Amino acid sequence: MMKNYTVKELHEKLVAKEITPSAIIKDSIAKLKKYQILNATVTELETFATNLAAQLDNVPILPSDFLAGIPYVAKDNFATKGILTTASSKILSNFVPTYESTVTELLKKQHAILVAKSALDELGMGGHGLYSYTGDVLNPWDLTRITGGSSSGSAALVASGVVPFALGTDTGDSIRKPASYCGIVGFKPSYGLISRFGVIPYAPSLDTVGYFTRSVVDSAIILDYLAKNDHQDATSLTSLEKDYYQNITTDLKGKKFAYFPFAHNQLSAELKTTFNKLFTKLQEHGVEICEATFPEELLKALLPVYMIISYAEAISTHSALDGINFGLRVSGETYEDVMINSRVSGFGRVVKRRYAIGSYALSKDNQTLLFLKAKRVRRLIVDELTKIFANYDILLLPSATTVAPKITGVKAHTLTESDLEFYFDDLLVLANMMGNPSITVPLTLIDGLPIGVNINAKPFADQIVLNASLLIEEITGLKNLVAPGGEENE
């Protein structure tokens, strides 16, 4: 099989005619079959991808055509015209869209080649990759461990070398946590920077389209193509930044990087030492390392606020998944019976539980007590983040406190009062509350397993997030990591 190249490296070989699109796609399909054990795909598109590649074989690839002939996978909540789109839910197991999401349409115009639709936690609900109706998605570094979710399939396929990039969505940490567990780059750009049109929503005020790569430079390249204003998306915004790839640099002298001492102190001794070494290296590059504070009462409220808002929005946005308007239809004597039977059969237990909580929060008696109060607390959280970004250029966070947990341990775990009191591993949700850019890059390997660091900046400061990530990538030397079993890059 071919070595695992980045987007940039594959592009350079295509321009130099050292390789053809068909050869790249043939290799990607072979790796897709090799890694079927990961259970990372819902739909594989061998014939579709092979035909597109053949059409490109005799077309010159220009130096500016970075994505032409490059294989990718899309999380299965991106609508693809004429291609099954299930969001990994039984309720949509027969849904074939008649329209295309803006993001996949943009990639199609650039002649990037979709090779598969990847598995996710059902309808984007879940942080482990264990809640797809097609089964658990396994971590390519260790098949007994989780990939993280909800963008689990996309993360696993990039980490195993099947494709150099993959689309995902991030509502809480759904791209950045799997990136940490899988040793790859996971980027959640600023809210509104990439269109959500054609993406099956979970919680629209939190959902952000992003992607996985194995290098920071690739992330900058892809953002240049996807950061487009879209009149079909009411939340789409135009950034004042442009040419992310051309402007990427590691020169960050004089910039202020902040971290939370309370988060740092709760890390394991090994991970704390790794972060301290990173801080020292950053200082050697002219970066100022600063301590930042955040009100403890708001940190304790972070997970409950996220739960109330996201679950309430989910029950609203999914109201048409009823077996009548959309989705699997199970017969009944009345239309109410059809809806009840279809939903009982079509949704998994995690989704049903979140719908129940969301409905409770939106009920007449609880809207003021729960939903409206959660939105007010969200505003307080955003206000505190605004203060931080007024004083510091970058906020560094641990992407996770540990390497990927064992699947058996996660399945045995039940939420406890202490989890709700301080859900430390959910600090990444802060970026969804505010909508600021946030990226995870590999930090180190612990016992042969990856763990990442998370980099944040103020909304629409995506360029400095990419720059800081590139500097950290150069410091750690962990670029283009491939999970054991994949062919190592030259």
User: In angstroms, rounded to a whole number, what is the distance separating the alpha carbons of residues 439 and 429?
Assistant: 12
User: In angstroms, rounded to a whole number, what is the distance separating the alpha carbons of residues 25 and 38?
Assistant: 20
Cα 86 → chain centroid: 18
| Residue with tokens 């010159």, as numbered in its chain | 60
HSE-CB at 160 with a 13 A cutoff on CA atoms is 33
Closest CA to 220 of 211, 233, 231, 229: 211
Sign of the alpha-carbon torsion through 313, 316, 320, 322? positive
- Cβ of 62: how many Cβ atoms within 10 Å? 11
User: In angstroms, rounded to a whole number, what is the distance separating the alpha carbons of residues 435 and 304?
Assistant: 18
User: In angstroms, rounded to a whole number, what is the distance separating the alpha carbons of residues 191 and 167?
Assistant: 15
User: In angstroms, rounded to a whole number, what is the distance separating the alpha carbons of residues 335 and 324?
Assistant: 8
Q: Is 150 a catalytic residue?
A: yes
186, 178 contact by CB (below 8 A): yes
Residues paired with 450 in a beta bridge: 445
Q: Is 342 a catalytic residue?
A: no
Six token digits for residue 16: 């130099």
Give the β-pairing of 449-456 and 394-398.
antiparallel
Secondary structure, 3-state, 50-108: HHHHHHHCCCCCCCCCCCCCCEEEEECCECECCECCCCCCHHHCCCCCCCCCHHHHHHH
Catalytic residue among 88, 118, 174, 438: 174
Phi and psi torsions of 306, nearest 5°: -60, -45
User: In angstroms, rounded to a whole number, what is the distance separating the alpha carbons of residues 165 and 266?
Assistant: 33
The three-state secondary structure class of 336 is helix
Six token digits for residue 480: 């283009």
- Cβ of 202: how many Cβ atoms within 10 Å? 28
Catalytic residue among 75, 177, 255, 458: 75
User: In angstroms, rounded to a whole number, what is the distance separating the alpha carbons of residues 335 and 346?
Assistant: 16
User: In angstroms, rounded to a whole number, what is the distance separating the alpha carbons of residues 148 and 151?
Assistant: 7
Catalytic residue among 22, 101, 132, 150: 150
User: In angstroms, rounded to a whole number, what is the distance separating the alpha carbons of residues 322 and 335?
Assistant: 10
Six token digits for residue 107: 């990639």
Residue 216 belongs to what H/E stretch?
helix 216-226
- Cβ of 124: how many Cβ atoms within 10 Å? 30
Q: Is 75 a catalytic residue?
A: yes
The three-state secondary structure class of 12 is helix
User: In angstroms, rounded to a whole number, what is the distance separating the alpha carbons of residues 105 and 229?
Assistant: 13
Six token digits for residue 104: 């996949």
Q: Which residues are catalytic?
A: 75, 150, 174
